[in-house]
A and B are shown apart, each in its own frame.
Chain A
Amino acid sequence: MSLILDVQDMTMDFGGLRAVNNVSISMEQNEIIALIGPNGAGKTTFFNCVTGVYTPTRGGISIQPPGGDRESIKGLKPSRITEKGLARTFQNIRLFPNMTVIENVMIGRHTQLKSGVLGAILRGPRTRAEERKVLEDSYEILKKLNLGHHVNDLARNLPYGAQRRLEIARALATEPFLLLLDEPAAGMNPQETRTLEALIRKIRDTEKVSIFLIEHDMSLVMSLSERIYVMDYGKLIAMGTPQEVKNDPEVIKAYLGEEVSA
């Protein structure tokens, strides 16, 4: 099977600081993989490079969407990368706080739509049909993520867990083939985390979206991911199945003091 994401020898320097050092990560279609590591290991920087927030100093990033051709996405603008089918959530929730829940999702549909300024003003049948469609689609996505009753609430008024779900909903609205989740369980209680786990699995199974997550919650990582990469000080120190990673001496050393529990 072909690699839908293939990162080769990626390095990211900030001035003198090497945040990501020669990291290669690849994943196949329909996989759920995780990137773990202590705080400051460079995980989020890795995400930022893949999604175009930063352009890596060295290395290559290629994607191959299911049924599409392999292409490099290194150095593209974030909006172009999203168009190509990579969507992400943020570690510190970044919703559009003063827009309604449904509007947040509608923004996610941006690249799927065409109407421009003139169309919006004239509001011909095409635009109207498009608007109706985007509303319906967005509402469907919200229902899937159990946010249907929040449609017209402002995003900032949602409870924390719902905000996390809304970020996923918004990302899904871009119709990605790969979803990158940056600490989706952060700040959740065990109950909520279990619900989230089921949700992520459901998304993978029903939407045919591959999942790449960064997470600190080890129970979630261990039970959800099929393969795990471990980073420390910008370098990749281990890779393998949850079982392999758990018993890797390097990993245990990196987490010294931090409890690794399955």
Chain B
Amino acid sequence: MDLDYFFRLFFSGLTRGSIYALLALGYTMVYGIIKLINFAHGEIYMIGAFTALIMATVFSFAGMPALAILVLSSIIAMVYSSAYGFTIEKLAYKPLRKAPRLSVLISAIGMSLFLQNYVLLAQTSNFLPYPSLLPRIPVPRFLQGLVSGPQLIIFSTTAVVMVLLTLLIKYTTMGKSMRATSQDRTMATLVGINVNRVISWTFIIGSFTAALGGILISSFTGQINFYVGFIAGIKAFVAAVLGGIGSIPGAVLGSLVLGMAEAFAAGYISSVYEDVFAFVILVLILIFKPSGLLGKPEVQKV
């Protein structure tokens, strides 16, 4: 077996997994709190990436240095994505708090369709080349040829975000409120948690990380169009379910498993079947663990 090839696939899987994780977090957090598959989440990611592209182009026309472009356009994109996440929730989900779950899902689907076409109409239907915003960093000698600089940036960024998020959820008041709300919304209200605010923050944080994922992956693949969010969104959702939806470590684990599975399937079997492989793994895992890898088994109170 070619060990180098194996490691190249491994790192490529890790890269995919990291990106899925940034997206899957948003799905899993929103799901944990309002039990909604937020179909529009993929569009948030797309809008984040688009905003970064727009701002970066404007700044580079203005002749700014590369690092300033990266930092400024990323921050603006993340702020905008969060604003979109916040607004979507207020507009399309909040009025439906007490509606049947499927209705909220349809509302999310409508929102997703709307946002795709909004970008399509306001920008373009074509694929646009995406500039590599990521700085060039040196790759340690022992990893040379196995992993690229941008890949290293992607997983280190993901790792940092995960750690920060875990700290946020574990130790801050908002994090505690989130956990309480996801366990029992009624109870959370009773102990004085402003549930609407918690939900808004969940969307804001989820959108923030989604935008980050969008910028990273678009810089990596070098292109973007209005439809990238939907496909990535479905994958990230699969990852979230694989890990056990509602569980944050589960989303990360699920994403890594999915990313690896796809990379190895593409590398050793055939790249056309990588998606089939991803879904087969999902089905197999769910058959044996119906609540996902780290999901708590649903205890039916009888």
Report if A53 contacts B (CB, 8 A). Answer: yes
Q: For the complex, would chain A's binding face be called helix, strand, loop or mixed by DSSP majority?
A: loop
Interchain CA distance A48-B285 in the complex, whole Å: 28
Q: State the Cβ distance, B296 to closest chain A Cβ, in Å.
A: 12
Q: How far is the CB of B99 from chain A (nearest CB, A)?
A: 15
CB-CB nearest in chain B for A92: B301
**In the complex, A48→B302 CA distance in Å?**
8
Q: How far is the CB of A17 from chain B (nearest CB, A)?
A: 12
Say if the beta carbon of A233 comes within 8 Å of chain B.
Answer: no
| A90 within 8 Å of B (CB atoms) | yes
A225 at the interface (CB under 8 A from B): no
Chain A positions within 8 Å of B302 at CB level = 44, 48, 53, 90-91, 94
Q: Shortest distance in angstroms between B300's beta carbon and chain A's nearest beta carbon?
A: 8
Q: How far is the CA of A56 from the CA of B302 in the complex (A)?
A: 15
- Alpha-carbon separation in the docked complex, A91 to B302 (Å): 8
CB-CB contacts of A46-62 with B at 8 A, as 1s and 0s?
Answer: 00100001000000000
Q: Size of chain B's interface in residues, with CB distance under 8 A?
A: 2
CB-CB under 8 A from A53, the residues of chain B are: 302
A253 to chain B, nearest CB (A): 29
8 A Cβ contacts from A163-189 to B: none
Task: Specify the chain B residue showing the minimal Cβ separation from A45.
Answer: B302
Across-interface contacts of B301 in A (CB, < 8 A): 92
B301 nearest CB neighbor, chain A only: A92
CB-CB under 8 A from A44, the residues of chain B are: 302
A95 to B301 CA separation, bound complex (whole angstroms): 14
Among residues 51 to 107 in chain A, which have CB atoms less than 8 Å away from a CB atom of chain B? 53, 90-92, 94
Which of chain B's residues has its CB closest to A91's CB?
B302
Shortest beta-carbon distance from B102 to chain A in Å: 14
CA distance A94 to B300 in the complex (A): 12
Contact with B along A182-208 (1 / 0, CB 8 A): 000000000000000000000000000
Q: How far does the alpha carbon of A177 sit from the alpha carbon of B278 in the complex, in Å?
A: 51
CA distance A92 to B300 in the complex (A): 12
**Minimal beta-carbon separation of A31 from chain B (angstroms):** 24
A183 to chain B, nearest CB (A): 12
Chain B nearest CB, measured from A89 CB (Å) = 11
Interface string of B147-183 (1 = CB under 8 A from A): 0000000000000000000000000000000000000
Could you tell me which residues of chain B, from 245 to 302, have a CB within 8 Å of some CB in chain A? 301-302
Taking the nearest CB of chain B, how far is it from the CB of A140, in angstroms? 29
Whole-angstrom CA separation of A94 from B302 in the bound complex: 9
Name A54's closest neighbour in chain B (CB-CB): B302
Q: Which of B78-95 contact A (CB under 8 A)?
A: none
Give the complex CA separation of A90 and B300 in angstroms: 13
Interface readout for B62-74 with A: 1 if CB under 8 Å, 0 if not?
A: 0000000000000
* Residue of B with least CB distance to A47: B302
CA distance A92 to B301 in the complex (A): 9
**Minimal beta-carbon separation of B186 from chain A (angstroms):** 15
Contacts of A94 in B (CB 8 A): 302
Name the residue of chain A whose CB is nearest to the CB of B299: A14
A90 to B302, CA, bound (A): 7
A6 to B246, CA, bound (A): 43
Please give the distance in Å from B301's CB to the nearest CB on chain A: 7
In the bound complex, what is the Cα–Cα distance between A90 and B301 (angstroms)? 10
Q: Which residues of the partner chain B approach A92 to less than 8 Å between Cβ atoms?
A: 301
Q: Which of B173-227 contact A (CB under 8 A)?
A: none
List B residues at the A interface (Cβ < 8 Å). 301-302
The 5 closest A-B pairs by CB, nearest first: A53-B302, A48-B302, A90-B302, A44-B302, A92-B301
Jot down 7 A-B pairs with beta carbons below 8 A, ordered by A: A44-B302, A48-B302, A53-B302, A90-B302, A91-B302, A92-B301, A94-B302
